[in-house]
Amino acid sequence: MATNNFPPCPASLKPIMHYLKVAAEHDERNPVISYWCRLHALQVGIKLSAGRKNREETNLLSALMDWLEAKKKELSNNEAITNDMCAQAAIEEYVLKMFKFADEQDRAENFNKNLVKAFYTCGIVMDVLVVFGELPEDILEKQKYAKWKAAYIHNCLRNGERPIPGPMGGIDNQNDADGNDSENNYQNPPAGFNAPPGGMPSPSINIPQRPSSPPAGGQASRNSPPAGVVPGGFHPYVAPPSSTWENNPAVPTVTPSADSNNLPTLNAEQITKVKKYCKFASSAMDYDDNKTAVLNLQKALTLLQTGRDPA
């Protein structure tokens, strides 16, 4: 079944729209994420529709069942589809890569709609992991952090405010974003938060090979999580017309000097900064984010050639 042939999602099943949206975004670039997002959407949808006879709900849920059955046959050689243990490992690997990328971009203060999308998608995909059982503590912490970060940065951009990178209170005042922060530092996105759609490139997944077990993926009878775990809806993101932090001068374009003797001597802190910008550029290239890669390389080059940190 083609993805564009799914019946529309009725308002009564609004909580599953987010999983269906992420599934559609991954149909071409990561069928494993697409499959499990739709499976989770089906589970939540069945729970929400229990006891009701709604034709629109039945049409969508039946279409999801048919698609999952067909996709499981099509990808029967993929253990991340047929084997729960491999599937969980593949999804965790994927979402942790995306979380790491988003966290690096956040701390580099590269605030934009793709960063919001990355954090929000992390939260949604981590929701999906409940099909394999209770979320591990480290995943649960990252899930809460990602959802909070998505809402926080989105609202700052909408209001023309400069977001604070890292955990609330500043990077130096909190533990890192790898799940070690206090529960009090996390908030679910507020009711008015609308996650923007957008092209957040996804990392490639190397499916780990594990011992085979009887296929369990794709069964709608598995325990489903509480409904309505993802608030808000997907609406186009519109950047604020102007803001004080967006109007800062652009990073100067530096022409490489042929005379290396004119280069300044950098101190240890400046050298660390250059390495950091190069690392951010490399991470951005892993996700086809050329704009961010160029920006960070320009920053590194400026610091190397002038001794001035453009940040």
User: Is residue 76 one of the residues assigned to a domain?
Assistant: yes
Higher pLDDT, 311 or 246: 311
Q: For the chain, what is the domain count?
A: 3
Query: Is residue 215 one of the residues assigned to a domain?
Result: no
CATH number at residue 32: 1.25.40.270
Q: Is the confidence at residue 155, as pLDDT, over 60?
A: yes
Those residues whose C-beta lies under 8 Å from the C-beta of residue 229, and which sit 6 or more positions away, are 15, 127
Confidence band of 51 (pLDDT split at 50, 70, 90): confident
Residue 247 within any structural domain of the chain: no
Find the domain containing 47 and state its range: 8-81
* Residues sharing a CB contact under 8 Å with residue 303, sequence separation 6 or more, in sequence order: 266, 270, 273, 274, 277, 309, 310
pLDDT band at 281; cut points 50, 70, 90? confident
**pLDDT over threshold 90, residue 190:** no
Across the range 282-293, mean pLDDT stands at 67
Question: How far lies 139's CA from each of 45, 86, 136, 161, in Å?
Answer: 24, 17, 5, 29
The mean of the pLDDT values for the chain is 74
- pTM here is 0.58
Q: What is the mean pLDDT of residues 52-69?
A: 94
Instruction: Convert the pLDDT of each residue in 206-226 to its tens digit.
Output: 333 343 333 344 433 333 333
286 assigned to some structural domain: yes
Residue 210 CA to residue 193 CA, distance in Å, equals 39
**Domain of 273: which CATH number?**
1.20.5
Residues 13 and 50 in one domain: yes
Same-domain check for residues 58 and 111: no
In a domain, 198, yes or no: no
Query: In terms of domains, do 43 and 111 share one?
Result: no
Same-domain pairing of 62 and 117: no
- Domain assignment present for residue 275? The answer is yes
> Tell me, what's the pLDDT at 261?
62
Q: Choose one of 81, 111, 144: the last residue of a domain.
A: 81
Least confident range from 51-55, 131-135, 155-159, 170-174: namely 170-174
The answer to the question of residue 282 being in a domain is: yes
Q: Which of 173, 234, 211 is nearest to 15 (CA)?
A: 234
Q: Determine, yes or no, domain membership for 234.
A: no
* Cα gap 190→65, rounded to integer Å: 32
Residues 44 and 120 in one domain: no
Q: Are 145 and 179 found together in one domain? A: yes
